[in-house]
Amino acid sequence: VQLQASGGGLVQAGGSLRLSCTASERMSSITYMGWYRQAPGKQRELAATITSGGTTNYADSVKGRFTISRDNAKNAVYLQMNNLKPEDTAVYYCNVPFLRTVSGITLYNVWGQGTLVTVSS
């Protein structure tokens, strides 16, 4: 089971990007889904999470600019990033703490491969 992240790229400050993360198999159970980011030389940090019921949580640094959403039918999570700043430059990773596929596979702490977001000033 893999999480496939996409949507990163190079954008000017003030621009927007939409990240997507989809699971490679159908899920029967999945907990909250999240986006984390790791800037060069820094530790990985939380950007946003969303529960299966749609409750969201954001890091203070992205509140009001980023919006996380999910499509349970597609086992996908999205991150709409608006008004991007140079300090948002990082590799963005999607994460699922727990999932179970319809085929019965149970996995914990699953990470996507990361997608690079570069914001130029």
Left (φ > 0), alpha (ψ -120 to 50) or beta: where does 65 sit? alpha
Q: What is the average pLDDT across 94-100?
A: 92
CA 71 to CA 45: how far, in whole Å? 23
Residue 111 pLDDT = 95
pLDDT at 96 over 90: yes
Residue 46 pLDDT = 97
pLDDT at 75 over 90: no
Q: What is the mean pLDDT of the chain?
A: 94
Give 47's pLDDT tier (boundaries 50, 70, 90).
Answer: very high
pLDDT at 27 over 90: no
Residue 90 pLDDT = 98
Contact 110, 94 (CB under 8 A): no
pLDDT at 74 over 90: no
Give 8's pLDDT tier (boundaries 50, 70, 90).
Answer: very high
Q: Give the dihedral of Cα atoms 85, 114, 61, 18; nearest 10 deg.
A: 60
Q: Provide the token pair at 110.
A: 């699953």
